[in-house]
Amino acid sequence: MTAQESEARAGAGLVDQWRDILAKHARTMCELDRELHGHGLGASDFEVLDVLAEGTPQDDSAGFRVQEIAGQVHLSQSALSRLIGRLEKDGLVARGMCSEDRRGVRVCLTPKGRALHAEVRPLQRAVLSRMLESGA
C-alpha cells in the first residue's frame, strides 16, 4: 500500500467517524425535542434554561450576557436573540441592561423558568443517558 492510499484510507475513517458523530447528535436532538415538546420547549430552549440555571445564583440577580450564552449553546447571536425573545414572551427569562456596559443585555431566569427547568431537567438527562450511553 502506498503512502497516498494509506492517507486516503485514514481520511475515510475520519470522515466515517465524523458522520457517526453528526448522526448521533441529530438523533439525540430529535429525541430531546420529542421529549420536551409536551412542556412547550425544544432542545435549544432547554439548553439556554440549563446554562442560566447552572450558572446563576438562586436569586437570578446577575444572569448572563447574550454573548456568554451563545458561546455555550452553539447558536448564532441572532438565533439566540430570537430564542430568548420567545422564552421572555413565555415568562421563562427576563432581559435587562448590563450595568457595566449599557450596550449589553443580561438574561436571567424568572421563577417560572427556574421551576420549568427543574421539572424537565430529569427528562433531558434521561434522554442523554439513553441516547449517549446506549450507543444509539
Asked if residue 124 lies in contact with residue 36, where contact means CB atoms within 8 angstroms, the answer is yes
| Bridge partner list, 95 | 107
CA 31-54-43 angle, to 5 degrees, is 20
Question: Which of residues 104 and 8 earns the better pLDDT score?
Answer: 104
Query: Has this prediction a pTM greater than 0.85?
Result: no
What are the domain boundaries of the chain?
Answer: 3-133
For the 3-133 domain, the top CATH level (class) is mainly alpha
- Which has more pLDDT, 63 or 134? 63
C-alpha cell recorded at residue 75? 447558536
